[in-house]
Amino acid sequence: MLLRKKKSKSEVLAERASEIWESASQSVADAAGSVAGTVGPRLDDARVAAAPVLADAQERAVVATELSRRKAKKAKKRAAALAAVAATAAAAKAEEHAHDDEQPKKKKKTHRLRKLVLVAAIGGAIAFAVKKLTSAPSGGSYTPPPPPPEPVRPTGPATVPASPAAAQPPEGQDADALAGADVDPRDDQRPGSDKI
């Protein structure tokens, strides 16, 4: 007994593909034959039914073509007439401007300074009216309040305290400084002061 050589995968696939191809080509040939048998007579019937419609469409196309040619001729004549009218109007306008070039043109005055003064006057009037309308009503002329009076400091000799145990003010300070002795001197500083 002879040993058979095992087929490779590619050989097996090639055989199956050829079998599938043969069966598919056979089924397509059968389907084409059956379609030709059923479609052929219907196609002939459609040709017969479409023949009068096609002839009518061809006649309408001929009529439409002739009508469009006539309209094109009319439009061409009308466009030529309008072009002639436009050309004569343009020639008349050109001749009119040709005579204008012969005469010297006067330079139109701009009056820039006059316009500037007028605009400034109007702007000033508007600013004055706005200021008067937006300002608070006043009861007459304004008089500022009088300045605060200067503090009175005694210029005479200091008074002797009633008892020797009483606190004596240090030199260079007067009795007013003692009255505010319980107040912290840092509280008197202004926010803009350089002292910390």
Rounded to the nearest 5°, which phi and psi values hold at 5? -80, 135
**For each of the chain's 196 residues, which pLDDT tens digit applies?**
567 778 788 888 888 999 999 999 999 988 888 888 888 888 888 888 888 888 899 999 999 999 999 999 999 999 999 999 999 999 888 888 777 666 666 778 889 999 999 999 999 999 999 998 888 766 667 788 899 998 888 776 666 555 655 556 556 665 555 555 555 555 555 555 555 5
The pTM of this model reads 0.28
33 vs 97: CA distance, rounded Å: 86
Q: Per residue in 134-146, pLDDT tens? A: 887 666 677 888 9
The confidence score (pLDDT) of residue 152 equals: 84
Which residues contact residue 174 at a Cβ distance below 8 angstroms, ignoring those fewer than 6 apart? 153, 154, 158
Long-range contacts of 48-56 (CB under 8 A, 24+ apart): none
